[in-house]
Amino acid sequence: MDEHESSKQPDATSTLGITRRTVIETGASALLLTTLPRAALAAGAVDDNEPPASSARVDLRINGQAHSLTLDPRTTLLDTLREHLALTGSKKGCDHGQCGACTVLIDGRRINSCLTLAVMHDGQSITTIEGLAAGDNLHPLQAAFVEHDGFQCGYCTSGQICSAVGMLAESQQGMPSYVTEDLTQPAAELTDLEIRERMSGNICRCAAYPNIVGAIKQAAGMAT
């Protein structure tokens, strides 16, 4: 094929009805569409204080007080406590349910608040570290942690104490652990090994574990 014949071959874009002008106009339209919402917001046409259509109403009873909140349904219970209710005793450590620093009690059962959504607990009773003491009177576990020096940096302490409260309740209800030897007994003996296993979901990076075990044994009414 010579150069003269090659110049007569149909262009692919012409065959499809697409021209350079079409491509340019389409690109400009797409850019305009992406900038319109931002421009409208800047001009005040959109109220950024209005809750999104996907928000959800949730009623929680936290430390004995009722709270009615409008939240993004994706908000974790931990972020609800810390960011919306200023209950910062529950700590965000790993945010993956691996350290236990965010442990709270829901209807008396311990749970990692970073792994659950607030909307999943509508109508339930939640207890955080702030709700354990009765006024100036510390919860027995709080007092035992102070007496046994069961903390160093203190970051994990709120989760440790809440978890221990739930753990002692589970033990009293006869729930066994992985290391419980006699399953015929109504409640397992809280040996050091038993306590360590039951508290294994709560990590202390300062390694105050012996003191934590001692505090829990004291709070459980056992001699140390």
Residues 195 and 116 in one domain: yes
Q: What is the pLDDT of residue 159?
A: 98
User: pTM of the prediction?
Assistant: 0.75
Helix, coil or strand: residue 105: strand
- Please check whether residue 50 lies inside any domain of the structure: no
Asked if residue 200 and residue 164 are part of one domain, the reply reads: yes
Does 140 map to a domain?
yes
Q: What are the pLDDT digits (tens) for 9-28?
A: 555 444 556 676 666 766 66
The rounded distance, in Å, linking the Cα atoms of 132 and 138 is 7
Walk along the chain (224 residues) in steps of 10 and give the mean pLDDT of each run.
52 57 65 52 53 83 97 97 97 96 97 97 97 94 96 96 97 93 89 96 96 96 65
Q: Are residue 24 and residue 79 in the same domain, yes or no? A: no
User: What pLDDT is attached to residue 41?
Assistant: 46
State the pLDDT at residue 19: 74
Residue 105, C-beta contacts closer than 8 angstroms, at least 6 positions apart: 111, 126, 127, 128, 162, 165, 166
CATH number at residue 121: 1.10.150.120
- Structural domain including 10 reads 3-42
Same domain for 99 and 207, yes or no, is: yes
In a domain, 68, yes or no: yes
Residue 32 shares a structural domain with residue 118: no
Please say whether the beta carbons of 117 and 74 come within 8 A: yes
Domain-embedded: residue 49: no
